[in-house]
Structures are given as structure tokens and as C-alpha cells.
Amino acid sequence: MDVRVLRYFLRVAQEENITRAAEALYTTQSNLSRQLAQLEKEIGKKLFERGSRTITLTEDGMFLRKRAQEIVTLVDRTEAELASAGDVVSGSVSIGAAETRAMRLIADGMLALKTMHPQIHFELFSGSTIEVTEGLNKGLLDFGILVEPVNLERYAYLRLPITDLFGLVIHKDNPLAQLEVIRPADLKGQPVLCAVQQLDGNVFAGWLGEDINNLDIVATFNLITTPVMMVQAGLGSAFTFDQLVTTTADSDVCFRPLEPRIEAGLVLAWQKAQVFTKATRAFLDQMQDTFAAASG
């Protein structure tokens, strides 16, 4: 499968129009159409539904788009890393991060590293721990900030000198907002929003003292930004970490910790078989120094 043809395929999927895609790729419509037809023949699947004005992806085409983007990203990263070889520490460091206040500590380390090595570039991906581990496993990310509980068997890692405090983001008009802490009995009959990882990792089973299915979960999510809007709209209250949501006096939401208290550890992880570039090695060394300083 030719990477150049995959780039053609991705551009057509983006533009949904052969003419616009051909112009963006500086090629002819006939050549682009021929390349796509050959790709479909090679794969043995129909990738596009061709209409009079637009061209859209089939289900197989949507699957290939995801894989093609991963392949192209890996090729681009490999070329950039090879091009950065030399005495100067340069190149990209890709970091996936779950939502956590610990990113402020990571940012401190990144700033120190950028000061020493201005030619280093950071690529940031925000997602749940599930999404970040997927990026690590596929080689799309160099490092991931993961929230425990998480299976670390296939990773090397540094433990961060920070833990995150679980709690509930609540609309201030909700009676729960009058409580100082949230206990399991307080949630009886209360609609809640919960992160997918919290369900998969069974985070709350011990805290609830019963099956998590007894919670009235009205929605699940991966990142907290949109769920906060749901809380503001009155859909329910959202489980999340402290200091991720603005809860100042003029905000219409507040945060209440859980009781008994639940804290989550955090790790900076990378694949055990990771081959380090100068940039990624410098990043890891800097994170070790940053974590040590924060611990002291």
C-alpha cells in the first residue's frame, strides 16, 4: 500500500470532492480517480460512494481513513526524527495526556526543556487514559500521562509526585451543593455523568459498596469540558478530578470531594521497547529532574 496513495485517499475523504482534492494535491482529476480506483482494487473493498456533487466514505472507507491517518503520521514522524539527527537536540516529542492538574507540572518541565533546547517541538494529544494508551500501543505517542488504575505491564514509567482527588461537579442549585462531601447514599436517585475509564476501571465499586450499575448514569464521557455544560444545563452531576473545572464564586458549578476519599495516582509512561531520539531522551531526563524537584 503506497503511502502517497494513502495521502491522496485522505485528502479526498477530507474534501469530499475529487476536483477540490486534485487541486489541493496538485494533480489531475483523472490521475486521482485512477489512483483511488487502484486502491479499491488492491484492497478489494468499495471505499467511496460517488454522488453527482460529493464523494463520501463507505463503512470500509471510514475504517481505512483511521488506519491511513495512523500510517501517514508514523511515516511523517519517522522522517522528521531521521532528519533531526546531528549534534543539536531537536525534533518532536509527542505526549498524550488524560485530564489532570498534573499537566501543570509537566508544563514546567516542558518549559525548562524548551529553554535549553529551543528546536524541540511538542505534539500534544488530549484524551482519556484509554485513548492515550491506544496511542502509545500503536507508536503514535512517545509518552502518555496515565491515570491509575491502569495496566502498566507493557510500559516503563515514572510515577508523578502528585495524586488527583475524585469528586463531583455539581450545579449550585442542586441540593447536593449544600453538602461538604459526597457520600454514596447521597447519590441515590441522583442523575450522574461518569467517564468511561471510571466505569471500565471499576473505580467506584469499592466506594459505593455495591454494583456501579445502581448509579443513575445518564451519560458517559472521555473529557470533562462538554459534560460541565451538561451539568450547567441541569442534566446531572459529573464525576471528575479537582481543579479541572472553574468553580469560582461567579461560576454556577461547584466541586465536592467524595467521602470516603478517593485519590488516583499518575504515571508518565512509554513503551518498554521504546527507541529514544535525542529529543525524547532529553524530555525524559527533564521529567525525572522535574519530578524529583517537586518531590523534594
Backbone angles phi, psi at 148, to 5 degrees: -75, 155
| pLDDT-based confidence at residue 206 (cuts at 50, 70, 90) | confident
Dihedral, CA of residue 267, residue 273, residue 279 and residue 284, to nearest 10: 30
Say if 87-162+265-295 and 164-262 have the same CATH topology: yes
Classified by CATH at the fold level, domain 3-82 comes out as Arc Repressor Mutant, subunit A (1.10.10)
Count of Cβ atoms closer than 10 Å to residue 85 Cβ: 11
Which of 272, 267, 265 has the alpha carbon at shortest distance from 156?
Answer: 272
Q: Tell how far CA 181 is from the center of its chain.
A: 29
Fold exhibited by the domain 87-162+265-295: D-Maltodextrin-Binding Protein; domain 2 (3.40.190)
pLDDT tens-digit profile of 225-237?
A: 899 999 999 999 9
Q: What is the pTM of this model?
A: 0.71
Read off the pLDDT of each residue in 78-85 and give the average, rounded to a whole number.
Answer: 67
pLDDT of 209 reads: 72
Of 26-30, 85-89, 108-112, 236-240, the range with the lowest mean pLDDT is 85-89
Third-level CATH fold of 164-262? D-Maltodextrin-Binding Protein; domain 2 (3.40.190)
More confident site: 293 or 2: 293
Q: Model confidence over 20-66: pLDDT tens digits?
A: 888 888 888 888 888 888 888 888 888 888 887 788 888 888 888 88
pLDDT of residue 130 exceeding 80, the answer is: yes
Dist CA 61 CA 46 (whole Å) = 7
pLDDT of residue 96: 95
| pLDDT at residue 258 tops 70 | yes
Instruction: Decide which of 137 and 82 is more confident.
Output: 137
Residue ranges per structural domain of the chain: 3-82, 87-162+265-295, 164-262
- Give the 3-state secondary structure of residue 242: coil
Task: Report the percent of the chain where pLDDT is more than 90.
Answer: 50
Q: What is the DSSP string of 61-114?
A: HHHHHHHHHHHHHHHHHHHHHHHT-SSS--EEEEEEE-S-TTHHHHHHHHHHHH
- Whether the predicted pLDDT of 202 surpasses 70: no
- pLDDT reading at 210 higher than 90: no
Average pLDDT of 92-99? 92
